A and B are shown apart, each in its own frame.
Chain A
Amino acid sequence: MIGKLNRNSTLLSSIISIILGMLVGAIAMLLSGYDPISAYGALFSSVFGSASDMGETLRTITPLIFAGLAVALAFRTGMFNIGVEGQLVIGSLAAAFVGLKLELPPVLHAIVALVVGALAGAIWALIPGLLKAIRGVHEVIVCIMMNWIALFLSNYMVGKVLSNNSDSTEKIHPSASIRVDFLTDMFDGARVHLGLILAILTTIFVYVLLFRTKLGYELRAVGLNPDASEYAGMSVKRNIILSMMISGGIAGLAGAVELLGTSEYLAINPSLPGTGFDGIAVALLGANTPIGVVLSSMLFGGLFNGGSNMQYVAEVPFEVIRIVFAAIILFVAANFVKQLGNRKNRKKKGEKASA
Chain B
Amino acid sequence: MLSTMTNLLETTILYSTPLILAALGGLFSERSGVINIGLEGLMTIGAFTSAVVAINTGSPWIGLLAGIVAGILLALIHAVATVTFNADQTVSGVAINFLAAGLAVYLVKALYDGAGQTPVVESKFTDLAIPVLKDIPLIGDPLFNTSPITYIALILVFVSYFVLYRTPFGMRLRAVGEHPHATETAGVSVVKMRYVAVLISGALAAIGGATLSTSIGSEFSATTVAGQGFIAIAALIFGKWKPFGVLGAAAFFGFSVALSLTGQVWGLTEYVPSEILTMLPYVLTILALAGFVGRANAPAAIGKLYERGSR
Contact = CB atoms under 8 A, between A and B. Distances in A.
25 contacts: A34-B110, A131-B289, A131-B290, A138-B289, A140-B35, A140-B37, A145-B234, A145-B282, A145-B283, A145-B286, A148-B279, A152-B278, A155-B275, A160-B273, A280-B91, A319-B101, A319-B103, A320-B106, A322-B106, A326-B95, A326-B102, A327-B99, A330-B92, A334-B81, A334-B92
A327 B276 CA distance: 37
Contacts of B101: 319, 322
B107 A82 contact: no
A19 interface: no
The interface residues of chain B, by DSSP majority, are classed as helix
Contacts of A271: 223, 226-227
Name the residue in B226, B275, B291 with the highest tally of chain A Cβ atoms < 10 Å from its Cβ.
Answer: B275
A33 B92 CA distance: 29
Interface of A: 28, 32-34, 80, 82, 127, 131, 135, 137-138, 140-142, 144-149, 152-153, 155-156, 159-160, 270-272, 277, 280-281, 284, 315, 317, 319-323, 325-327, 329-330, 333-336, 339
Given A145-B234, A281-B98, 15 more contacts: A28-B103, A82-B94, A140-B90, A141-B237, A144-B230, A144-B233, A145-B286, A146-B282, A153-B275, A271-B223, A281-B94, A319-B105, A325-B102, A326-B99, A335-B85
B77 interface: yes
A303 B223 CA distance: 23
Contacts of B184: none
B269 to A, nearest CB: 11
A326 B94 CA distance: 8
The interface residues of chain A, by DSSP majority, are classed as helix
Contacts of A320: 102, 106
Contacts of A280: 91, 94
A88 to B, nearest CB: 16
Interface residues of B, number: 49
Contact of B110 (A32, A159, A281): A32
Contact of B90 (A80, A142, A334, A335): A80
A127 B283 CA distance: 12
Interface in B198-213: none
Interface in B237-283: 237, 273, 275-276, 278-279, 282-283
Contacts of B275: 152-153, 155-156, 159
B289 A137 contact: yes
A304 to B, nearest CB: 12
Name the residue in A131, A145, A270 with the highest tally of chain B Cβ atoms < 10 Å from its Cβ.
Answer: A145
A132 B110 CA distance: 44
B87 A148 contact: no
A135 B114 contact: no
A141 B285 contact: yes
B81 A317 contact: no
A149 B102 contact: no
B187 to A, nearest CB: 24
B304 interface: no
A325 B94 CA distance: 11
A145 B282 CA distance: 5
Nearest to A144: B230
B302 to A, nearest CB: 9
Contact of A319 (B86, B102, B283): B102
